């Protein structure tokens, strides 16, 4: 086996029969990898992209309760279509 420099592996053109597509945790296509270049290519991506968020991450990210649409703040349902005058 020949040794390939890591910078070459970043752009490794994998043999089709020996490679596969890698997707992130949300099913978004990242790149094609093989056993030779997988570590290098996937090393560029953050762990949460590859594996998704853990429960701890979700707890930190979750939005507060005020995400309701702003039109709710106006209260009435009868003012939206009568502003023509």
- The answer to whether 14 contacts Zn ion (rule: CB under 5 A) is yes
- The answer to whether 34 contacts Zn ion (rule: CB under 5 A) is yes
Nearer to Zn ion, 24 or 36 (CB): 36
DSSP string, 42-76: HTTS-HHHHH---HHHHHHH---STTS-GGGGG--
Q: Give min distance, CB of 28 to Zn ion, in A.
A: 19
Nearer to Zn ion, 34 or 53 (CB): 34
- The answer to whether 40 contacts Zn ion (rule: CB under 5 A) is no
d(CA 19, CA 33): 5
Residue-level length of the chain? 85
d(CA 21, CA 30): 7
Nearer to Zn ion, 34 or 49 (CB): 34
- Residues at the interface with Zn ion (CB under 5 A): 12, 14, 34, 36-37
């Amino acid at each position: 086996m020949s040794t390939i420099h890591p910078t070459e592996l970043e752009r490794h053109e994998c043999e089709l029969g020996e490679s596969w597509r890698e997707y992130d945790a949300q099913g978004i296509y990242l790149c094609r990898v093989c056993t030779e270049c997988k570590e290098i290519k996937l090393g560029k991506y953050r762990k949460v992209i590859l594996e998704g968020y853990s429960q701890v991450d979700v707890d930190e990210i979750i939005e507060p309760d005020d995400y309701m649409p702003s039109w709710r703040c106006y209260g009435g349902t009868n003012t939206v279509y009568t502003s023509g005058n």
